[in-house]
Structure 1
Amino acid sequence: MFANDQTEPLIRPALAVELVDRIRALIMEGELRPGDKVPEKALTVRFGVSRTPVREALKVLASEGYVRLIPNRGAVVAEVTLAEIEEVFPVIAALEGAAGELAARHATDKEIAAIRRLNDKMHAAFESGDRPAYFDLNQEIHSAILAAARNPTLRQQHQMVAHRVRRARYQANLTPERWTEAVLEHDSIVEALEARSAERLGRLMKTHLEHKLNALRRAITADETFSGGNCRS
């Protein structure tokens, strides 16, 4: 079933959380593609667990929108639809734009320095073509800016919607040109934060998300691959 037949046994007590993370990664990286039936038996072998924790993990992933649970069939990897992306991305863009403005005003020097270090690490992941590491660092930067905004309500609202398009954000840059553009956008974001330019940072954060939406819109309209492969965020 899997291109990689290597077993990856999981260790308790973090079994449940790690199993969710591992299966989610299979979906985000395209090893399990939209419309695929999730192979419970193959997952039990790969991760060295019984079917019960696998099924519990799939319930969590269903609540996050990664899979659909179908009676008498099991779990199927959910499609990422243009309608959902069009609905959610403008909301996230508005929230992250507001977070950027607030972070420029409220972030400590220590927080700004930490975000700069994350951006440097993200550059290294980009240069090496390490897509999972790049995405994780990318998300850490966005999360750090949200935290630096010092607005719990804004952060809570962001968390409520962001998980719905997390896979789309992972796959937003479907060409090397767009990936390079995204890295340069992050450089500008960090520079605006260091300059504490609130209006500029807010605008850059919002535009960054708008560019992701435009890339996804073009890809889906053109029926390009949207489930992994060479997709980068």
Structure 2
Amino acid sequence: MTSKADILRQLRNEILTLELKPGSILSETALSERFEISRTPLRDVLKQLAHEGYIDVYPKRGNLVSYIDLESVEQIIYLRSTLEKDMIKNLASHASPLPLRGVLELKEILERQEETIEQEQEHAREAFLRLDDAFHKALFTLAGRVFLWDLIQQSNAHYARYRRLHLLKKEKLKEILAEHRLILDSVIGRNGEKIDEIVQHHLHEDINAAYLSENFAEYLNLPSFDSSEPADRT
């Protein structure tokens, strides 16, 4: 029998990577058979997933993988943008030398991102996304703000999937890498003049684009159920 913690981790990952697409039904019977676990502990797992925003529970309809909530995404973007603009400008204005280890880590991440762009396999995009997270976490770490980074990750169910959909475009990967280089150059070169502009475009640009609504509308729109309100996530 698989532990509740392992099942929770597995289902989170399948939802975040879009293996389980928004709107997919999570049948208690199927999950119970799949993980060889009884209904009572399985319901604890589903309750936690609902609390974290990964699924919605509809009375008489069951458990559905949550649709991507763009309002939630915009809130996370606003939070990250506000924090990162201030944090990166502070890094760029420091009079004392930046820790060499941190700078070398950031450069290595960018080199590895460039390598993944040239790969066509699906797992390469997942690798790029992990490196994207690693780059920004390294900036937070360099600024002594890693606690804030970890805090942001606790509200990641909608934002992580939103990012993955945009990373299906190879030109988007190249754009992200180019902006990462601009950010790092600004920090190393002690030039904070364009940080606001770079970070604003880096984090905000996609939320205003029509790409998602034109290509993935079925991931964003809530279904029209007779009982339209999902059950309380408390």
Q: Structure 2 length normalisation: TM-score?
A: 0.73
2:64 to 76, 85, 88: 76
Deviates more, 1:53-62 or 1:121-130: 53-62
Matching residue of 2:212: 220
Alignment gaps of 5+ in structure 2: 220-234
> Where do 1:167-206 residues align within 5 Å?
167-206=161-200
After TM superposition, the structure 1 = structure 2 runs for residues 133-172 of structure 1, keeping only pairs within 5 Å, are 133-151=127-145, 154-155=148-149, 158-159=152-153, 164-172=158-166
Q: CA deviation at 1:179?
A: 2.7
In structure 2, what residue type is equivalent to 1:213? I
1:127 is matched with: 118
Match of 1:99 among 87, 106, 110: 87
Asked if the contact 2:70–2:158 (Cα under 8 Å) also holds between the matched residues in 1, the reply is: no
CA contact (8 A) 1:220 1:226 kept: no
Range moving further from structure 2, 157-166 or 101-110: 157-166
Q: Name whichever of 127-136 and 70-79 sits farther off.
A: 70-79
Matched, 1:61 2:49: yes
Q: Deviation per CA, 1:145-164: give whole Å up to 9, x if none.
A: 11222246754764565555
Asked if residue 113 in structure 1 is aligned to residue 104 in structure 2, the reply is: yes
Q: Runs of 5+ in structure 1 lacking a partner?
A: 1-8, 228-233
2:9 maps to a residue whose letter is: D
User: Could you list the per-position Cα deviations for residues 128-172 of structure 1 after superposition, in whole angstroms to 9, with x for gaps in the alignment?
Assistant: 241222111111111121122224675476456555522212223
Q: Which of residues 50, 66, 82 in structure 1 aligns to 2:37?
A: 50
RMSD: 3.1
- Aligned residue type for 1:140: A
TM-score (norm 1): 0.73
Amino acid of the structure 2 residue aligned with 1:177: E
One-letter code aligned to 1:222: E
| Larger relative contact order (CA 8 Å, sep ≥ 6) | 2
Q: Identity percentage over the alignment?
A: 25
CA contact (8 A) 2:22 2:65 kept: yes
Contact 1:82 1:220 in 2 (8 A): no
Name the aligned partner's letter for residue 82 of structure 2: A
